[in-house]
């Protein structure tokens, strides 16, 4: 296998490709495997065969995917056992299948990963109680003093912990026995008395109690019992202990060693298997704890947490500020320990095997999963490949890319990956809808797509076959799969271009030192996140406290990261708390000439700050804001303009600024902008790019062509470019190292020639439609047909006609295009037996002058629609026969509206 085309090699070389010698132009036309999209490859219920594995991987390769990751997962919707149960994950039969997939991926030069459990997150039947997830549990006993007291303390209830014959958990640790005043509000923590040493091993407390009413809190750590989410039927088991590094090591080594033994290898360095994945962190409710966490807390936060445990069990302090500070300390300790134990440790362990860690380490955050207890940027920066996710068609629109891209940028990670196109919608979205979401994700910084999902479905399952309950169904059972390659080429070209050089942003935004911490604060993001006070035309990254302190410096007035990425400005959050270590860093940066804006904080962190720490906080705040080293009276945009820094991308027509978005990458020789039309209407972009005196060309990611069309001319600041974008259109504007050139000349347009037919329309056999050619004079939607089988047809049908082109035009020697007008969803055009390619996004047109011949020209247009109409037809007209089979049919109802389908036109020949 050629590992240079794989993901692991791309990581090691930082994915940079020089444009020297035309190599970037070549890779734009022919993107390497590592830039091509992967997929969550669902082995539903663990049921798959070697033949199915080979067939899937060969289809991926043929259609332009780069690889996939094995996902053993439950088919949640499975009426009548439509998807049979397969073998236990990582059992002998499962390992045979995994090994076969690795060998076949290697044969096909595809990369392969695996989700590190059945279902998600991390765990399995092999995880013993000492390595399974744990929490704090407690019992309360009322005692009236004074005098010697002897009583048996009840064992805390822990209903989901695995138990032994004695009824006690198989694994538990006594954490503390605490006596505290019976009232649920404590005057001070010093009122808590640690009587742990007074309890015998059998739970009997012998204590000389002071006078008064007391509550005895017996606190243990044991398994909380959270199991894997949606594992295949024979593959359940507990989640691991995420805040114990030994649990992560045990788990990952178990998986890796099992697979290696089956392959007969010492590591994976010469195989297609390149990474494991931890999916989104979604923990059960409760107080997260581990056997050694008290010591971890003291190391991380500087004091012993034992006397403070009542606050985790529902007690409160009269001093609300100190109460809040402890809870923040607890959350910070959990976040830091989880990042170290799960993500840092996981990356190191996998490196021993020649593997990388891909992880949705940053959430999703609230409100979906309130127990994702991490500082997202720091967690994402701790793994080899940070992964986010974005959904399509969700009512609240989960879209988590900006946070992930920021983490990659500030921690020097070259890949920004995402679980892409996740959805509850089924078989109603074509590739142009996917493109609109992909373009938004690209503009937020994404540069690698992992489709959610590619469900493996054997031919005997029928069509559309087996499907995961939430996923976009891009696999060989999709109606438009035979025409999918250009869509994957588009994602690959765009991803590859957005790995070149460094991301350009003017503002670095520190989002605070608290935990949990997310950007934006909630995962429902209907529009691209914006930074308050910055507005359009500028870009920004989000940075966490750790990266701010350890990776950011200032040089020549700019804030600089170790890889050379830089910012003009550091913006601070609208928060009242700020850690002292951050204030020390801000002092250093201002001393080095950095420009910083933001409000003055009022309080430091920590439940037990020393007198010296409090004094330092006040001194630093006074020095930085009192002396105006940090401006609190200016917003980021005004600060930038005051520094003479105008927008990086400025749409001239103010009324059209919301129609476009952009992202900018910079290499040693090139300035690369990606811009896209957010609307479904054609638009002319008239914008100023912050680049001067350099030639500009348009690199079209749909066609792979590099063009000189459009108008580019010097502006007062930068270069003004004007060019057309079709509905949902996108373009790379690439400024080279050569001096600016004059506008390119365009060919004189010809008068469009209508292609009016007559047409013949042919449907495939086996779908209830007469396969004989149908003569039609007018192009119209299939759903308008009086024939029920045509109205509800889903699949690919072929239109044919004869083109007659005037001889003077055919022999004029200028480009000629066949414009199909409108259609749903994709089409393949053949002229005189020559395949001219696939169209899948407006404008639906192909170049035809190279295939024309004198006289009659035979034109064939094959059009694919979506599955929805046939699925609805099977429900509405079961008496006419059912043609589809799937386990998720319940997503449709007989009265659902049908989707537009077919070729609508008008079809024309143009010279533009």
Check residue 17 and give its pLDDT: 36
Is residue 510's pLDDT more than 60? Answer: yes
Check residue 351 and give its pLDDT: 98
More confident residue, 525 or 869: 869
For residues 698 and 709, is the Cβ–Cβ distance under 8 A?
A: yes
Is residue 12's pLDDT more than 50? Answer: no
Six-digit token pair at 513? 């030192």
> 342-381, pLDDT tens digit by residue?
999 999 999 999 999 999 999 888 876 567 899 999 999 9
* Mean pLDDT, residues 841-858: 93
For residues 235 and 46, is the Cβ–Cβ distance under 8 A?
A: yes
> 544-589, pLDDT tens digit by residue?
999 999 999 999 999 999 999 999 999 999 999 999 999 999 999 9
CA 611 to chain centre: 44
Cβ burial, residue 415 (10 Å; 0-12/13-18/19+): buried
Alpha carbons 384 and 8: distance in angstroms, whole number: 10
DSSP letter (8 states) at residue 340:
I
Check residue 370 and give its pLDDT: 63
3-state helix, strand, coil in the chain (%, to 5): 30, 30, 45
Alpha carbons 383 and 413: distance in angstroms, whole number: 9
Query: CA dihedral defined by 377, 383, 386, 387, rounded to 10 degrees?
Result: -110
Task: For residue 21, name the pLDDT band (cuts at 50, 70, 90).
Answer: very low
Is residue 644's pLDDT more than 90? Answer: yes
431-443 helix and 485-497 helix, angle to the nearest 10 degrees:
10
Residue with tokens 């390595």: 131
* Mean pLDDT, residues 833-841: 98
Task: For residue 805, name the pLDDT band (cuts at 50, 70, 90).
Answer: confident
Task: For residue 543, name the pLDDT band (cuts at 50, 70, 90).
Answer: very high
Check residue 751 and give its pLDDT: 86
Rounded to a whole number of angstroms, the CA Rg of the chain reads: 31
How far CA 145 is from CA of 120, 197, 204, 215, 374, in Å, comes to 50, 18, 17, 11, 42
Handedness of CA 889, 894, 895, 898 (dihedral sign): positive
Residue with tokens 């303390």: 153
More confident residue, 286 or 139: 139
Is residue 416's pLDDT more than 50? Answer: yes
Check residue 369 and give its pLDDT: 57
* Mean pLDDT, residues 161-189: 96
Nearest by Cα to 734 from 762, 755, 754, 705 = 705
Residues in the chain, overall count: 912
Check residue 743 and give its pLDDT: 53
CA 376 to chain centre: 13
Check residue 746 and give its pLDDT: 56
Alpha carbons 198 and 205: distance in angstroms, whole number: 6
> 63-97, pLDDT tens digit by residue?
999 999 999 999 999 999 999 999 999 999 999 99
* Mean pLDDT, residues 385-407: 92
Check residue 8 and give its pLDDT: 46
* Mean pLDDT, residues 45-73: 98
Task: For residue 747, name the pLDDT band (cuts at 50, 70, 90).
Answer: low
Task: For residue 285, name the pLDDT band (cuts at 50, 70, 90).
Answer: confident
Task: For residue 670, name the pLDDT band (cuts at 50, 70, 90).
Answer: very high
Nearest by Cα to 386 from 438, 450, 337 = 450
Is residue 6's pLDDT more than 50? Answer: no
Long-range contacts of 605-608 (CB under 8 A, 24+ apart): 605/325, 605/328, 605/329, 605/332, 605/513, 605/577, 605/578, 605/579, 605/580, 606/301, 606/302, 606/325, 606/329, 607/301, 607/303, 607/308, 607/322, 607/325, 607/326, 607/328, 607/329, 608/302, 608/303
Six-digit token pair at 671? 């300035």
Task: For residue 713, name the pLDDT band (cuts at 50, 70, 90).
Answer: very high
Is residue 318's pLDDT more than 50? Answer: yes
> 758-801, pLDDT tens digit by residue?
999 999 999 999 999 999 999 999 999 999 999 999 999 999 99
Task: Specify the DSSP element, H or E, that contains 508.
Answer: strand 507-510
Alpha carbons 834 and 337: distance in angstroms, whole number: 61
């Amino acid at each position: 296998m050629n590992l240079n085309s794989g993901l692991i090699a791309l990581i090691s070389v930082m994915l940079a490709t020089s444009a020297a010698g035309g190599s970037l132009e070549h890779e734009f036309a022919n993107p390497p495997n590592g830039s091509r999209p992967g997929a969550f490859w669902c082995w539903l219920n663990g049921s798959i065969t070697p033949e199915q594995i080979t067939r899937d991987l060969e289809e991926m390769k043929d259609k332009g995917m780069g690889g996939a990751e094995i996902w053993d997962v439950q088919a949640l919707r499975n009426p009548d056992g439509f998807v049979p149960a397969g073998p236990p994950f990582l059992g002998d039969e499962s390992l045979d299948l995994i090994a076969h997939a690795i060998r076949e991926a290697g044969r096909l030069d595809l990369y392969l990963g695996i989700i590190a459990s059945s279902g998600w997150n991390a765990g399995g039947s092999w995880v013993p109680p000492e390595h399974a997830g744990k929490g704090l549990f407690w019992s309360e006993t009322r005692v009236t003093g004074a005098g010697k007291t002897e009583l048996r303390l009840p064992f805390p209830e822990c209903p989901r912990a695995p138990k032994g014959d004695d009824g006690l958990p198989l694994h538990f640790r006594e954490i503390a026995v605490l006596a505290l005043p019976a009232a649920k509000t404590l005057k001070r923590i010093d009122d808590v008395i640690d009587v742990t040493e007074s309890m015998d091993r059998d739970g009997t407390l012998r204590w000389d109690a002071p006078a008064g009413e007391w509550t005895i809190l017996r606190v243990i750590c044991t398994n909380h019992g959270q199991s894997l989410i949606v594992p295949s039927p024979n593959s359940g088991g507990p989640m691991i202990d995420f805040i114990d590094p030994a649990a992560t090591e045990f788990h990952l080594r178990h998986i890796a060693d099992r697979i290696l033994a089956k392959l007969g290898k010492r590591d994976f360095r010469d195989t297609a298997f390149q990474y494991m994945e931890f999916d989104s962190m979604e923990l059960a409710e409760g107080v997260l704890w581990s056997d050694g966490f008290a010591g971890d807390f003291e190391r991380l936060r500087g004091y012993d947490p034992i006397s403070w445990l009542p606050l985790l069990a529902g007690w409160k302090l009269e001093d609300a500020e100190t109460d809040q500070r402890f809870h923040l300390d607890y959350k910070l300790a959990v976040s830091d320990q989880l990042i170290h134990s799960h993500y840092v440790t996981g990356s190191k362990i996998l490196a021993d095997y020649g593997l990388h860690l891909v992880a949705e380490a940053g959430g999703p955050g609230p409100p979906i999963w309130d127990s994702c207890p991490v500082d997202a940027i720091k967690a994402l920066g701790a793994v080899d490949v940070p992964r986010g996710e974005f959904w399509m068609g969700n009512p609240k629109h989960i879209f988590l890319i900006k946070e992930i891209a920021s983490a990659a940028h500030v921690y020097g990670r070259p890949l920004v990956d995402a679980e892409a196109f996740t959805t509850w919608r089924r078989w109603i979205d074509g590739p142009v809808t996917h493109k609109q979401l992909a373009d938004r994700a690209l503009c937020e910084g994404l540069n690698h797509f992992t489709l959610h999902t590619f469900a493996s479905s054997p031919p005997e399952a029928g069509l559309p076959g087996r499907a995961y309950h939430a996923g976009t169904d891009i696999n060989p059972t999709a109606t438009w799969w035979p025409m999918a390659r250009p869509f994957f080429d588009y994602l690959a070209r765009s991803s590859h271009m957005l790995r070149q050089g460094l991301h350009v942003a003017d503002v670095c935004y520190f989002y605070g030192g608290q935990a949990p911490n997310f950007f934006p604060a909630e995962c429902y993001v209907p529009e691209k996140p914006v930074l308050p006070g910055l507005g359009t035309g500028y870009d920004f990254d989000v940075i966490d406290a750790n990266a701010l302190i350890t990776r950011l410096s200032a040089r020549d007035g700019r804030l600089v990261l170790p890889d050379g990425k830089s910012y003009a400005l550091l913006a601070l959050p609208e928060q009242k708390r700020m850690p002292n270590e951050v204030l020390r860093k801000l002092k250093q940066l201002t001393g080095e000439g950095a420009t910083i804006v933001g409000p003055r904080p009022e309080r430091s962190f920590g439940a037990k700050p020393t007198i010296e720490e409090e004094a330092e906080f006040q001194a630093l705040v006074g020095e930085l804001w009192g002396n105006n080293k940090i401006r609190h009276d200016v917003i980021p945009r005004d600060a930038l303009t005051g520094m003479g820094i105008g927008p990086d991308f400025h749409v001239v027509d103010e009324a059209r600024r919301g129609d476009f978005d952009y992202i900018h990458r910079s290499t040693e020789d090139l300035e690369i902008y990606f811009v896209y039309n957010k609307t479904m209407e054609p638009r002319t972009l008239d914008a100023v790019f912050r680049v001067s005196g350099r030639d500009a060309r348009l690199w079209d990611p749909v066609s792979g062509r590099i063009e000189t069309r459009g108008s580019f001319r010097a502006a007062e600041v930068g270069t003004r470019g004007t060019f057309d974008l079709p509905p949902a259109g996108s373009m790379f504007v690439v400024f080279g190292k050569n001096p600016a050139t004059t506008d390119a000349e365009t060919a004189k347009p010809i008068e469009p020639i209508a292609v009016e037919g007559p047409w013949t329309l042919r449907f495939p056999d086996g779908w209830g439609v007469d396969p004989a050619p149908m003569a039609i004079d007018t192009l119209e939607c299939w759903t308008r047909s009086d024939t029920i089988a045509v109205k509800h047809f889903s699949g690919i049908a072929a239109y044919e006609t004869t083109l007659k082109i005037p001889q003077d035009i055919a022999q004029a020697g200028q480009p000629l295009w066949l414009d199909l007008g409108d259609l749903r969803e994709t089409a393949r055009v053949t002229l005189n037996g020559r395949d001219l390619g696939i169209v899948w996004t407006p404008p639906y047109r192909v170049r035809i002058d190279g295939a024309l011949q004198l006289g009659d020209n035979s034109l064939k247009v094959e059009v694919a629609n979506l599955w929805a109409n046939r699925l609805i037809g099977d429900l509405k007209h079961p008496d006419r026969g059912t043609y589809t089979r799937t386990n998720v049919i319940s997503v449709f109802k007989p009265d659902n509206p049908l989707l537009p389908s077919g070729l609508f036109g008008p079809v024309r020949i143009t010279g533009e």
